[in-house]
């Protein structure tokens, strides 16, 4: 088992780290204090990233993270899902909110990559897509979605409300989850690409948040919003036997990406804490914890938890690259990394004392930013429930 970063991704990882250190961190506080201001510095960066990714299956962008094989060559492969996670980890050493504000790298792009057909992939290429799942009446239970999509000739008419849509105001389009027939339950839920400016689609407010303030988080209403039938992602047929599986494939792609965000921000906190405590930390990993100072023992434990989260994240992404079902592993990565990201950043603030709590240090900001990573794309509790269902072979109806 080789746990090292594949050599072919070394340049990508180095470039992502440089972006985090030289672009994201210097403007991190600026946009944390100017919530809802669009980071103009990211426009050129996004264009450069597009150029790097153009024609490259192993790229850094969310729009390339897919279970589709880019090569028919047999054998184990390290592909776009793994490279995307590695890039995200490095970029989130700089700033999670700025990463989420990157044009054309939204979670909606990963959703399109996961379930769109070839024609749709070509048509939506280059578009910046947000993802709209959560509703006022359904939080963690995605199957409780009440937004409807009614067929009308060559269109669908959407009605409903979505909340907590990351990049909902800035993105070119939004991937909206809606039900074709609420009486059929989760099997009737499909995802639709709705372009910005479509009549009947309105951003009703922007949320004020604890963290990731550089990223806009919107509430969007849909009132008789007419969307072309060709914008329904994947198979338009309702398959009661398959149930929710088709749409849920989106999460198999996006949950490792969110886990990578948590791994990245935790890595930044650990790295900075080691610098601040360099006179007190001696690297005595061979010693029993009882023989170490409390600060040293805590830091080593956090490093071990971080490494476990990182390996789970890379495993889930690698499985997607190799077309291995990864629903359980994606949830394991998201659950572990989300929890570890929260614990590591908060403990690092505590270890740094008054220095870590002040705005002169990014430790304080990273602690706030990390909280959302244990919530969106499925809360900690939902991930544990999914893992239990997979391990016990239970359906969602049997184990709630």
Residue-wise DSSP of 278-339: TTT----TTS-GGGS-HHHHHHHHHHHHHHHHHHHHHHHHHHHHTT---HHHHHHHHHHHHH
If 0-12 CB within 10 Å is exposed, 13-18 middle and 19+ buried, where does residue 271 land?
exposed
Q: What is the set of active-site residues?
A: 377
Assign 24 a pLDDT band (cuts: 50, 70, 90).
very high
pLDDT value at 349 more than 80: yes
pTM: 0.93
Q: Residue range 129-142: average pLDDT?
A: 86
Q: Residue range 20-38: average pLDDT?
A: 96
pLDDT in tens, 185-221: 888 999 999 999 999 999 999 999 999 999 999 999 9
Q: Are residues 113 and 159 in the same domain?
A: no
Q: Are residues 251 and 383 in the same domain?
A: yes
The full length of the chain comes to 400
Pick from 58, 55, 54, 76: which is nearest to 66 by CA? 58
Provide the strand spans (E) within 11-136: 129-132
Q: Are residues 75 and 119 in the same domain?
A: yes
If 0-12 CB within 10 Å is exposed, 13-18 middle and 19+ buried, where does residue 56 land?
middle
- CATH number, domain with residue 282: 1.20.140.10
- State the total domains in the chain: 3
Q: How many Å apart are CA 183 and CA 190, to the nearest integer?
A: 14
Q: Answer for the pair 334, 255: CB distance below 8 angstroms, yes or no.
A: yes
Q: Are residues 153 and 111 in the same domain?
A: no
**Structural domain boundaries enclosing 156:** 129-231
pLDDT in tens, 248-302: 778 898 999 999 999 999 999 999 999 999 988 877 888 888 888 899 999 999 9
Q: Are residues 118 and 133 in the same domain?
A: no
Q: How many Å apart are CA 345 and CA 352, to the nearest integer?
A: 11
**Residue 279 belongs to a domain:** yes
Q: Answer for the pair 110, 253: CB distance below 8 angstroms, yes or no.
A: yes
Q: How many Å apart are CA 95 and CA 352, to the nearest integer?
A: 20
**pLDDT at residue 221, rounded to an integer:** 98
Q: Which of 50-54, 90-94, 228-232 has the lowest mean pLDDT?
A: 50-54
Q: Would you call 265 helix, strand, or coil by DSSP? A: helix
- CATH number, domain with residue 52: 1.10.540
Q: Residue range 171-180: average pLDDT?
A: 96
Assign 66 a pLDDT band (cuts: 50, 70, 90).
low
Q: What count of other Cβ atoms lies within 10 Å of the Cβ of residue 299?
A: 22
* DSSP code for 164: E
């Amino acid at each position: 088992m080789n746990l090292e970063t594949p050599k072919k991704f070394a340049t990508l990882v180095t470039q992502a780290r440089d972006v985090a250190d030289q672009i994201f961190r210097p403007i991190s506080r600026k946009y944390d204090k100017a919530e809802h201001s669009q980071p103009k510095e990211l426009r050129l960066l996004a264009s450069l990233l597009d150029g790097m990714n153009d024609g490259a299956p192993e790229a850094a962008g969310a729009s390339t993270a897919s279970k589709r094989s880019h090569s028919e060559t047999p054998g184990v492969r390290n592909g776009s899902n793994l490279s995307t996670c590695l890039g995200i980890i490095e970029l989130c050493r700089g700033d999670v909110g700025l990463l989420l504000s990157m044009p054309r790298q939204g979670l909606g792009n990963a959703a399109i990559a996961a379930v769109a057909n070839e024609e749709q992939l070509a048509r939506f290429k280059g578009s910046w897509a947000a993802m709209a799942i959560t509703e006022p009446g359904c939080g963690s239970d995605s199957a409780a979605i009440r937004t409807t999509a009614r067929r009308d000739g060559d269109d669908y008419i959407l009605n409903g409300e979505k909340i907590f849509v990351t990049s909902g105001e800035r993105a070119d389009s939004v991937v909206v989850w809606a039900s074709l027939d609420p009486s059929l339950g989760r099997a009737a839920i499909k995802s639709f690409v709705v372009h910005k400016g479509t009549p009947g689609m309105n951003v009703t407010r922007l949320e004020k948040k604890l963290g990731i303030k550089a990223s806009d988080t919107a509430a969007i209403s849909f009132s008789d919003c007419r969307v072309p039938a060709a914008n329904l992602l994947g198979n338009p047929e309702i398959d009661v036997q398959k149930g929710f599986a088709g749409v849920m494939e989106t999460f198999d792609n996006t949950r490792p990406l969110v886990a990578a965000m948590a791994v990245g921000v935790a890595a930044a906190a650990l790295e900075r804490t080691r610098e601040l405590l360099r006179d007190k930390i001696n690297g005595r990993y061979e010693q029993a914890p009882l023989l170490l100072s409390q600060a040293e023992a805590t830091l080593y434990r956090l490093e071990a938890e971080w490494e476990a989260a990182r390996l789970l994240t890379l495993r889930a992404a690698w499985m997607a690259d190799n077309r291995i079902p990864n629903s359980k592993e994606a949830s394991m990565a998201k659950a572990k990394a989300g929890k570890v990201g929260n614990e590591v950043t908060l403990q690092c603030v505590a270890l740094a004392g008054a220095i870590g709590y002040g705005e002169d240090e990014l430790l304080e900001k990273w602690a706030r930013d990390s909280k959302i990573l244990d919530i969106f794309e499925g809360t900690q509790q939902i991930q544990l429930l999914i893992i239990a269902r997979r391990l016990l072979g239970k359906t969602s109806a049997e184990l709630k």
